[in-house]
């Protein structure tokens, strides 16, 4: 069938490393949800997920194949096995469900600015300190006409169990633990009062996580350790390396790698992968030059157009590289 369609209705996207690419054509329904559920945080490491609805028949992978993580009895998530980027969410094996739809991670699309969100969902789980400022309608759980795995916690214990990870260390000031949605990889970190938590709006963080916002917590490397499993590593540029779960894709850390002596002292941990994300105060927005036009905040945080002054920036380098 030949259908005349505007180019604007065709979306292409893929992950940061470029191994997996897809194409999707907008259908009748254009629901785009900011999802604040804990499963999406733990799957991506992003601070929340933003999902765009497409008819499943209008979506195809055009390069490479993603890894599939069955996040519950009724849903699966596709992500890049080489860099971890979340790509899609889809209901499976649920006769009452919505397998005719596929939800695409907006952060993985090539033109995220063109995909306007329509709703906030799972606002019951929204981080209280995340001061988003828009007039979109919100739902405490999933939208009433859509069923998902996080909406059926009693039917599908697996993902929820992964989130309720028991503490390895005494809970207390400064002691933090985290890990991914599937539970394969966990870490421990001691994070003091001098922590810096920055919302990063850069395009590389979007394409690494599939999310539209990744918040990073600065940690001294000596105070951080993986305590179960080992993450996969992805060198996202010649100056930085990211780690992620090879089984579910969750992003864990970012670290500069240019000058081993100096760079090895500090790393950055994703807020979305921590077990108690509510504990952290945000301090800054970075790479606001890349902030999506529909993402608004009502906060007094410092805003930096690029990386923090004095820090290297692979996104800055990438941008300069693209220009040259």
Which residues sit at the interface with Zn ion, rule CB under 5 A?
15, 17, 19, 80, 82-83, 180, 182, 184, 200, 202, 205, 245, 247-248
Q: Which residue(s) pair with 243 in the sheet?
A: 233, 253
Give the pair of three-digit tokens for residue 176. Answer: 């933090």
User: Which of 26, 286 has the CB closer to Zn ion?
Assistant: 286
User: Which of 26, 182 has the CB closer to Zn ion?
Assistant: 182
User: Which of 205, 219 has the CB closer to Zn ion?
Assistant: 205
Residue 292 Cβ, how far from Zn ion at the closest point, in Å? 13
User: Which of 59, 187 has the CB closer to Zn ion?
Assistant: 187
Residue 10 Cβ, how far from Zn ion at the closest point, in Å? 21
Q: What angle do CA 313, 35, 181 make, to 5 degrees?
A: 75
Residue 261 Cβ, how far from Zn ion at the closest point, in Å? 24
Residue 159 Cβ, how far from Zn ion at the closest point, in Å? 11
For the chain, what is the HEC assignment?
CCCCCCHHHEEEEECCCCCCEEEEECCCCCCEEEECCHHHHHHHCCCCEEEEEEEHHHEEEEECCCEEEEEECCEEEEECCCCCCEEEEEECCCCCCCCCEEEEEHHHECCHHHCCCCEEECHHHCCCCCCECCCCCEECCCCCCCCCHHHCCCCCHHHHHHHCCCCCCCCECCEEEEECCCCCCEEEEECCCCCCEEEECCHHHHHHHCCCCEEEEEEEHHHEEEEECCCEEEEEECCEEEEECCCCCCEEEEEECCCHHHHCCEEEEEHHHECCHHHCCCCEEECHHHCCCCCCECCCCEECCCCCCCCCCHHHHHHHHHHC
Residue 282 Cβ, how far from Zn ion at the closest point, in Å? 14
Residue 243 Cβ, how far from Zn ion at the closest point, in Å? 11
User: Which of 82, 109 has the CB closer to Zn ion?
Assistant: 82
User: Which of 146, 204 has the CB closer to Zn ion?
Assistant: 204
Residue 127 Cβ, how far from Zn ion at the closest point, in Å? 18
User: Which of 147, 206 has the CB closer to Zn ion?
Assistant: 206
């Amino acid at each position: 069938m030949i259908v005349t369609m505007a180019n604007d209705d065709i979306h292409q996207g893929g992950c940061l490393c470029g191994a997996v690419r897809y194409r999707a054509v907008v259908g009748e329904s254009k629901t785009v949800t900011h999802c604040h559920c804990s499963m999406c945080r733990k799957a991506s490491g992003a601070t929340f997920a933003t999902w765009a609805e497409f008819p499943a028949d209008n979506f195809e992978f055009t390069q490479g194949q993603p890894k599939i993580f069955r996040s519950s009895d009724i849903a699966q998530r596709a992500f890049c096995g080489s860099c971890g980027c979340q790509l899609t969410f889809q209901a499976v094996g649920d006769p009452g469900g919505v397998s005719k739809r596929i939800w695409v991670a907006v952060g993985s699309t090539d033109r995220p600015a063109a995909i306007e969100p329509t709703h906030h969902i799972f606002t019951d789980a929204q981080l209280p300190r995340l001061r988003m400022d828009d007039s979109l309608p919100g739902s405490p759980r999933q939208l009433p006409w859509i069923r998902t795995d996080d909406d059926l916690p009693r039917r599908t214990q697996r993902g929820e169990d992964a989130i309720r990870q028991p503490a390895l260390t005494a809970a207390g000031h400064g002691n933090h633990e985290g890990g991914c949605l599937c539970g394969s990889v966990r870490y421990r970190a001691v994070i003091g009062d001098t922590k810096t938590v920055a919302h990063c709006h850069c395009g590389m963080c979007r394409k690494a996580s599939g999310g539209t916002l990744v918040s990073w917590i600065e940690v001294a490397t000596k105070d951080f350790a993986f305590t179960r499993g080992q993450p996969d590593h992805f060198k996202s540029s010649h100056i930085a390396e990211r780690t992620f779960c090879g089984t579910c894709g969750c992003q864990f850390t970012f670290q500069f790698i240019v000058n081993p002596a100096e760079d090895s002292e500090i790393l950055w941990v994703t807020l979305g992968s921590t077990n108690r994300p509510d504990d952290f105060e945000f301090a800054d927005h970075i790479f606001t030059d890349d902030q999506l036009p529909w993402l608004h905040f009502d906060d007094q945080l410092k805003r930096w157009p690029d990386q923090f002054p004095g820090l290297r920036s692979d996104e800055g380098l990438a941008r300069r590289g693209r220009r040259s």
